[in-house]
Amino acid sequence: MTKIKIRSASLKDVKDISRLVDSGVREGALLSRTIRELNTLARKSRIIAAFDDERLVGIVMLDFYSKRMAEMRSLYVMREYRNIGIGRRLVQRVVRSAHSLGVKELMTITLKGNKDWFVDQGFGEDPHGFKVALFRAP
């Protein structure tokens, strides 16, 4: 393993990103994303990627709801690259990017079993106590 590099993904990375997303979908960790959606996010520099040499090993996406609020989503690191800090580095990069773009609230939705990891990365309930995420079937 070489030194892991973190950078914004480009359009040339989209096919590899799609394969990585598909791996996450099969694992039950991610929701499916279309090539069109990935192209749009890559074009806007909203996908942060981790590379071991030229091999894509992790991703995270930043999606905006408004100028003020964004969601960090689709954080995924290949199984053989987990527990060495890549996920943490991806989150740090997204947080810096969101801050530089003027985002005031950055949220994420995760599986229950991952909650503590995200809390360790600085995520938590609404600090003002006003907001709660609620879900229902359509």
Please give the model's pTM, rounded to 2 decimal places.
Answer: 0.89
- Domains for the chain: give ranges and CATH numbers: 4-114 (3.40.630.30)
* Cα 33 off chain centre by: 12
Taking the CA atoms of residue 94, residue 99, residue 104 and residue 106 in that order, the dihedral angle to the nearest 10 degrees is: 10
pLDDT along the chain (138 residues), means of 10: 89 96 93 93 92 96 91 95 96 95 90 88 82 72
Residue 117, pLDDT score: 92
